[in-house]
Amino acid sequence: MVERTNLVDRGKGFALDFGLHYLQAVPPEVLVILDADCRVAPGALHRLAARAGQERRPVQGLYLMFSPPQASLKLRLAEFAWRVKNQVRPLGWQALGLPCQLMGTGMAFPWALTAGMALANGNIVEDMKLGIDLALQGAAPVFCPEAVVTSEFPLAGSAVQSQRKRWEHGHLSMIVSEAPRLFGYALLKRDLRALAMVLDLIVPPLALLAALLVGMLMLGVIWKVIGGTAWIAGMAASLCGVFAVAVLLAWWGWGRSVVSFRELMSVPFYVLAKIPLYLGFLTRRQKEWVRTDRK
């Protein structure tokens, strides 16, 4: 066991880089990364390591977060949104034979790939950045839903807000900074896996996607009222309908144990409550890593 303390180079990326250098003295065949606050299902470590050794590519297990007992509806809706992002969408890509994003824990890497890992940085979504970097090296991650890793959302409302801000501002920053680079690579190399990763990357967080679609519909209706054509409103309405059906299908398959149908109908209020978070990306974007308080 090794422990690192550094008050200057703070962040998970720096800690992982330190651990990687520590292991170089006696390198393993496969490197597995787990967060300390996670629970690992029986057999998950073996599945991750075996799959990484077999595929010679990064492997991402199924990482789920649960809301604590007696959690608020807002937190349970966040749990449902997490399932859509970390379970439903990766399962769809897997069914098509395509890769997934890295999720920060429950990850396995063949040791040969660690030479190309640029971990020593303070990126607030170092996992997503690492997955993109490896995809640019021709090693896009593989999803392994049989290897389950779980954690819980923090109890304190301020901790939840801080954690959510880090994740979502980090995701939006990755869209701005990394999507063009990954898209260019996918076209240049004709790499379908990289193209799938960039298409998945540019999908904004669920609440923001809903807000953007509704905003587009409202603009289309206004345009029609002032004398414009109706096709914009019609297209926006169609996209809103497709989005609603997709959310309902995801809820039916994976979310009924988290929120009831009646509770799901409160999603518009959940979306409205998160608008300040997204506006903050334009005015007070979080750029520094902040540890989530779980006390």
| Among 40, 17, 20, CA closest to 28 | 20
Report the pLDDT value the prediction gives residue 288, as an integer from 0 to 100. 64
- For residue 7, tell me if it sits in a domain: no
The per-residue pLDDT for 294 is 52
Q: What is the pLDDT of residues 18-70, one digit of tens each?
A: 888 888 889 999 999 999 889 999 999 999 999 999 999 999 999 999 998 88
Domain of 255, CATH number, reads 3.90.550
Residue 2 domain-assigned (yes or no) = no
- Here the tokens at position 126 are 């170092």
Q: What is the pTM of this model?
A: 0.89
Structural domain of 47: 12-283
Count of structural domains, the chain: 1
At position 148, the amino acid (one-letter code) is: V
**Does 123 fall in a domain?**
yes
Chain mean position to CA 256: 21
Question: For residue 288, is it within any domain?
Answer: no
Reference 12, options 78, 75, 85, 103; nearest CA is: 103
Mean pLDDT, range 153-165, rounded to an integer: 74
